[in-house]
């Protein structure tokens, strides 16, 4: 999977997520690895699956809510990981904005996973607001350095990321 606005390692990570090749506890158990617990290391409430780690764990939910609020769009109450990572169908973006939205969702998934690993391997993790800030900073750096056609003003990115200085500002599909 590829999006040239973000590093290739994120596309590889997303491919692994889609193929079920992420080392969450339920996947490790399926492969015969004995673990002390199958519970999510972030919330300790439910068995850790890929969907839970990236989408439905409390911290991940807060991150997705914050990112959708930043973009001034509604987060559907019932969304699958496949729908979230699959593109912009539920938000009606097209063209360049669709590609930027994909870069945001893929990068956020990657950063949520990195935070989960920080908790597992170093017993340290960030708040959801710090993860959101990291998504904003990293995607701004990656996108502004990888595209000549995108307005590169940091404040504009934070306040109105949908309108990034394209010749046709309105990138939402009608209706």
Tokens of 161: 């990321």
* 59 contacts 42 by C-beta, under 8 angstroms: yes
Using one digit for the tens of pLDDT, what is the confidence trace for 101-119? 999 999 999 999 999 999 9
Q: Which two tokens stand for residue 99?
A: 């590609």
Q: What mean pLDDT, rounded, does the chain reach?
A: 88
Beta pairing partners, 93: 172
165 pLDDT tier (thresholds 50, 70, 90): low
Give the other-Cβ count within 10 Å of 167's Cβ: 5
Cβ-Cβ contacts under 8 Å for 68 (sequence gap 6 or more): 74, 75
Using DSSP, state whether 47 is helix, strand or coil: strand
pLDDT at 142 > cutoff 50: yes
pLDDT at 170 (0 to 100)? 39
CB-CB neighbours of 56 under 10 Å? 17
pLDDT at position 8 is 96
- Buried b / exposed e over 15-49, threshold 16 CB at 10 Å, is eebeeeebebbbeeeeeeeeeeeeebbbbeeeebb
pLDDT of res. 116: 96
- Give φ, ψ of 172 to 5 degrees: -90, 140
**What are the pLDDT digits (tens) for 45-75?**
999 999 999 999 999 999 999 999 999 998 8
Residues 6+ apart with CB under 8 A from 76: 83, 90
Judged against a pLDDT cut of 70, whether residue 89 lies above it is answered with no
pLDDT of residue 151: 63
């Amino acid at each position: 999977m590829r999006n040239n606005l973000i590093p290739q390692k994120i596309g590889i990570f997303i491919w692994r997520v889609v193929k079920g090749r992420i080392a969450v506890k339920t996947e490790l158990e399926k492969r015969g690895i004995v673990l002390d617990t199958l519970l999510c290391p972030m919330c300790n409430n439910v068995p850790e699956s890929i969907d839970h780690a990236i989408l439905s764990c409390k911290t991940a939910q807060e991150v997705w809510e914050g990112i959708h609020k930043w973009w001034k769009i509604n987060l559907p109450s019932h969304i699958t990981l496949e729908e979230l990572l699959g593109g912009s169908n539920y938000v009606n973006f097209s063209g360049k904005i669709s590609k930027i939205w994909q870069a945001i969702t893929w990068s956020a998934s990657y950063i949520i996973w990195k935070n989960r690993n920080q908790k597992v391997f170093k017993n340290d993790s960030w708040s959801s607001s710090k993860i959101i800030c990291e998504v904003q900073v990293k995607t701004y750096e990656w996108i502004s350095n990888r595209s000549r056609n995108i307005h590169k003003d940091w404040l504009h990115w934070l306040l109105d990321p949908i309108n990034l200085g394209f010749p046709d500002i309105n990138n939402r599909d009608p209706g």
